[in-house]
């Protein structure tokens, strides 16, 4: 047995315990770091060849393990911009130099530009609704933009689509005199018509009221006289152009903005609707109408509808849903989706590369990143007004610290004993 070998073994033991104490120190220091994942030291033996009756001591080596996949406790806060992930996944954030990385630290706040930035200076990334409902890029970070919640001033959205649904009475009188149809816009418009109104918005957020007139214009029958279908006319006018000098709104000062034809079959189901767009020359906007839910049954006339768009209104609040959708609510009660926050994951989260700022990057051991929306494909949900605490167990870390100290001391005693034996050998010469 080599005395030098036993001393080197003791040195490797002290070095290993020093590494263990370093991980304990990191864990204790970051016990209150949002989203921090504990690290631990794993030991493995190093064995040297030995002959019969002569043992060569080897040593010990260490490797660091991360408990990234272990969920930390979730605590609630007073800020709606604090975000916690319940389940699997990581926020995608961007460093100051534009590099995308992963993190579980969701302590975001609004910076001077209106972007959501966490305490380590990383900007939260998401998909914008500017081009419609976003689609996720599963194998990369393309299309992601900083989530900006600065919505100062007023906002208005022009109407681009609207719908009406309801029932047209199948027993209504058929109007055959085209000069009395609402589309003729004369003072002698028939009384056999039904009127409803709908409010839309122009590009400045001003309300525009449209008057809708539903009039039965025809019935088709087969050779036996059985009804096989019916047609209705829907004429749409700007309410602002209505006549004010008589007992009706006709004649309007301008022609109809839309004249649509609705065709129904013998069962009262809508078979076609033509020329349904409202083309408003005053506001220079086109509103696509949807009448597809109308029926024609033997019941009183009824209708309900709405138009998209938004009146000029100030932002009252910003909210983030469990599905990651960032929405603003306006003072008039309307809402608008701005972004959807995705989550990313890897096959082996515990093997991610840890960087400063409590962020991670993928590597060959962890596998490539896969991106998706919260609550899909095994990803967790986002909780607004909450933070994920570190998963450090302080009691366990203090126990580890005591064990590391005792083991380091024991290894130092082995080294000291070897040194004493070397002194004995040297003194034999005297």
Residue 405: per-residue pLDDT: 94
Strand pairing category for 161-169 and 285-297 = parallel
- Report the alpha-carbon distance of residue 103 to residue 100 in Å, rounded: 10
Considering the domain architecture, whether residues 264 and 197 belong to the same structural domain is answered as yes
The count of structural domains within the chain is 3
Considering the domain architecture, whether residues 286 and 166 belong to the same structural domain is answered as yes
Q: Structural domain of residue 399, as residue ranges?
A: 3-70+391-427
Strand pairing category for 100-103 and 359-361 = antiparallel
Considering the domain architecture, whether residues 296 and 320 belong to the same structural domain is answered as no
The residue among 289, 308, 327 that closes a domain is: 308
The residue among 290, 308, 326 that closes a domain is: 308
Q: What is the CATH number of the domain that holds 230?
A: 2.60.98.20
Residue 27: per-residue pLDDT: 94
Considering the domain architecture, whether residues 127 and 50 belong to the same structural domain is answered as no
pLDDT tens digits, 288-331? 999 999 999 999 999 999 999 888 888 888 999 999 999 988 88
Cβ 201 vs Cβ 158: under 8 Å: yes
Considering the domain architecture, whether residues 342 and 367 belong to the same structural domain is answered as yes
141, 140, 139: which is closest to 123 by C-alpha? 141
Considering the domain architecture, whether residues 97 and 136 belong to the same structural domain is answered as yes
Cβ 223 vs Cβ 254: under 8 Å: no
Cα separations in angstroms, 208 against 85, 214, 244, 255 = 44, 20, 17, 16
57, 37, 61, 32: which is closest to 47 by C-alpha? 57
- Torsion angles phi and psi, residue 340, rounded to 5: -130, 125
- Report the alpha-carbon distance of residue 158 to residue 292 in Å, rounded: 23
Considering the domain architecture, whether residues 189 and 231 belong to the same structural domain is answered as yes
Considering the domain architecture, whether residues 168 and 247 belong to the same structural domain is answered as yes
First to last CA, the chain: 24
Considering the domain architecture, whether residues 53 and 31 belong to the same structural domain is answered as yes
Instruction: Output the CA torsion sign for 178, 180, 185, 186.
Output: positive
Mapping DSSP to helix (H, G, I), strand (E, B) and coil, where does residue 2 land? coil
Residue 314: per-residue pLDDT: 81
pLDDT tens digits, 386-410? 999 999 999 999 999 999 999 999 9
Considering the domain architecture, whether residues 168 and 283 belong to the same structural domain is answered as yes
76, 72, 75, 102: which is closest to 87 by C-alpha? 72
The residue among 274, 308, 342 that closes a domain is: 308
Considering the domain architecture, whether residues 221 and 247 belong to the same structural domain is answered as yes
Instruction: Average pLDDT across each block of 10 residues of the chain; the chain has 430 residues. List them in order.
Output: 81 92 95 94 86 79 93 94 96 95 96 93 95 89 92 81 95 95 95 96 92 96 91 96 89 95 95 90 92 95 92 86 92 85 96 94 95 94 96 94 94 88 80
Considering the domain architecture, whether residues 297 and 171 belong to the same structural domain is answered as yes
Residue 1: per-residue pLDDT: 54
């Amino acid at each position: 047995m080599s005395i030098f070998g036993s001393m080197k073994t003791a040195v490797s033991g002290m070095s290993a315990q020093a590494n263990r104490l370093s991980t304990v120190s990191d864990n204790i220091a970051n016990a209150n770091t949002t989203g921090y994942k504990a690290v631990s030291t794993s030991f493995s033996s190093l064995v040297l060849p030995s002959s019969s009756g002569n043992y060569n001591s080897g040593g010990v080596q260490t490797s660091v393990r991360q408990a990234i996949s272990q969920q930390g406790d979730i605590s609630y806060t007073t800020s709606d911009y604090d975000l916690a992930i319940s389940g699997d996944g990581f926020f995608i954030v961007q460093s100051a130099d534009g590099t995308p990385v992963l993190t579980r630290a969701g302590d975001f706040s609004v910076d001077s530009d209106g972007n959501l930035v966490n305490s380590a200076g990383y900007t939260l990334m998401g998909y914008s609704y500017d081009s419609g409902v976003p689609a996720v890029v599963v194998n990369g970070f393309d299309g992601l933009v900083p989530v900006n919640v600065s919505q100062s001033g007023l906002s208005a959205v022009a109407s681009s689509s609207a719908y009406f649904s309801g029932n047209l009475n199948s027993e209504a009188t058929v109007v055959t005199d085209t000069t009395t149809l609402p589309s003729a816009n004369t003072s002698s418009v028939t009384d056999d018509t039904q009127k409803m109104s709908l409010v839309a918005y122009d590009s400045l957020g001003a309300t525009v009221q449209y008057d809708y007139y539903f009039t039965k214009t025809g019935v088709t029958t087969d050779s036996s006289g059985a009804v096989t279908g019916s047609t209705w006319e829907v004429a749409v006018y700007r309410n602002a152009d209505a006549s004010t000098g008589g007992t009706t709104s006709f004649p309007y000062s301008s022609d109809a903005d839309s004249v649509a034809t609705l065709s129904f079959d013998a069962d009262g189901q809508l078979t076609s609707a033509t020329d349904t767009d409202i083309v408003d020359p005053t506001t220079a906007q086109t509103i696509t109408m949807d009448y597809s839910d109308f029926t024609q049954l033997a019941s009183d006339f009824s209708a309900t509808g709405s138009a998209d768009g938004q009146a000029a209104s100030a932002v009252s609040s910003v909210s983030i849903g469990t599905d990651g959708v960032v929405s603003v609510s306006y003072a008039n009660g309307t809402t608008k989706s701005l972004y959807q926050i995705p989550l990313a994951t890897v096959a082996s989260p515990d093997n991610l590369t840890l960087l400063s700022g409590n962020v991670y990057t993928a590597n060959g051991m962890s596998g490539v990143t896969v991106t998706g929306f919260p609550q899909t494909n095994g990803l967790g949900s986002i909780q607004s007004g909450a933070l994920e605490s570190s998963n450090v167990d302080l009691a366990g870390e203090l126990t580890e610290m005591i064990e590391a100290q005792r083991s380091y001391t024991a290894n130092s005693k082995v080294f000291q004993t070897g040194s004493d034996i070397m002194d004995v050998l040297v003194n034999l010469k005297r």
